[in-house]
Amino acid sequence: MRKYYTMSRPCFCGSEVMFKKCHKNRKVTGEEFAKYIYQVRADKDQMCLHPSAPLTCTPKILNAHTIQRKGPLKYLIDEDNHLGQMNAFGENDVIRVGWRRASTFRGFCTAHDKEMFQIIEDEKFKGRVEQVLVAGYRAYAFEYYKKMDNLRVLLPYYDYADFEDERLANQLTQMVEGTRYGEGNMRSCLDEYKKGLESKNYEDICSVIIYFTGDLCVAVCGAFAPDFLIDGNRIRPIDSEIQDLSINSLVTEDGHAVVFSWPKENEVCNKFILSIIKYPETEIPSILVEVIFRFIENVFFSIDWYDALSSKQKENIKGLASNGGIRFEDLHALVPSKEKYVNWEITEIDLTPFSRTPNW
């Protein structure tokens, strides 16, 4: 239903023409909507998501890296300082991205970005609880930011547009409701982490760290809500609340690590991780690669690594990446392919890095 819209305001569609001369008596076509989404996407939102924002913010909002510049990104770039990102819906498999743009978002002011993340940006990852916490915080902040940004784009149409095609209107409603729900979930994860960071009491955060040697060729920062165990069994009933799990790649003294962390109350996450680590250690690296491409969008990789994959492996990865975007219609378990994508070898799986008992 269309809300009241001021006649002499520029139209919600972004045409810069007044509403009464634009969409007042006209319905939005699918083509028009697609074009709008494509255009507004380019111009991104700005905010600072630091726990003490906006009180101590500096005016400049940074285009902040989610994967550390001096960390994983350094290992992924080619001679021209480019790295790859999956192009799940396009013709070419891979988008070449310059490292300055890779994995960035406008989610922290200059001061807070430095203050909060220097312990993972300037220091190697040593499994310290503060490092795990800020990495997890950044992953949730990134997902939260993306949802806010999506809402910013969708809401004008949701509130005011009259669609030619009812299916499109319903889709938009579903998208907005889903995004609002997801945004609330990410916000509550951020609140849990904020509590831990401020009180220095980390009892309510769980984590699992998997340490590797081998080439760091794929890196990730993001969060997702697991619905199925790796063996295919559903973890939570369809109508129960979703629970988000954060995942980060970090560089260590002699290799790299995949770091999962989550608020303790998200018990679904414990079960999901357990279903990965019960596999033989030789199979876990590839399962993780498949999990990363299946569930997270903010994934970057070395183009040389991707080029050297077999066509079967490329097909798998592209399939996983394009599934990730379809949330509501295509919920199914990830079935490990047993392909070997990476030469990673596990040196340690750290299940209890902090003074807390995970509820396995």
Residues that bind Zn ion (CB under 5 A): 11, 13, 15, 22-23, 48, 50, 53, 57, 109, 112
Is the Cβ of residue 11 or residue 210 nearer to Zn ion in the bound state?
11
Is the Cβ of residue 57 or residue 333 nearer to Zn ion in the bound state?
57
Is residue 264 within 8 A of residue 39, CB to CB? The reply is no
For residue 243, what are its two tokens?
Answer: 């629970």
Which residue is it, tokens 């996450």? 269
Which residue is it, tokens 């998200």? 266
Write down the least CB distance from residue 47 to Zn ion, Å. 9
Nearest C-alpha neighbor of 181 from the set 328, 53, 34: 328
Give the phi and the psi of residue 106 in degrees, each rounded to 5. Answer: -90, 70
Is the Cβ of residue 11 or residue 291 nearer to Zn ion in the bound state?
11
Residue 258, H or E segment: strand 255-263
Q: 101: which strand partners?
A: none
Write down the least CB distance from residue 19 to Zn ion, Å. 7
Helix (H, G, I), strand (E, B) or coil at 228: strand
Write down the least CB distance from residue 108 to Zn ion, Å. 6
d(CA 172, CA 158): 7
Is the Cβ of residue 28 or residue 296 nearer to Zn ion in the bound state?
28
Write down the least CB distance from residue 35 to Zn ion, Å. 12
Is the Cβ of residue 113 or residue 183 nearer to Zn ion in the bound state?
113
Other C-beta atoms closer than 10 Å to the C-beta of 65 total: 23
Q: What is each CA distance from 355 to 196, 200, 204, in whole angstroms?
A: 13, 12, 10
Write down the least CB distance from residue 141 to Zn ion, Å. 11
Write down the least CB distance from residue 25 to Zn ion, Å. 11
Write down the least CB distance from residue 84 to Zn ion, Å. 31
Is the Cβ of residue 117 or residue 344 nearer to Zn ion in the bound state?
117
CA angle, residues 100, 102, 105, in degrees to nearest 5: 95
For residue 123, what are its two tokens?
Answer: 């220091």
Helix (H, G, I), strand (E, B) or coil at 188: helix
Is the Cβ of residue 15 or residue 63 nearer to Zn ion in the bound state?
15
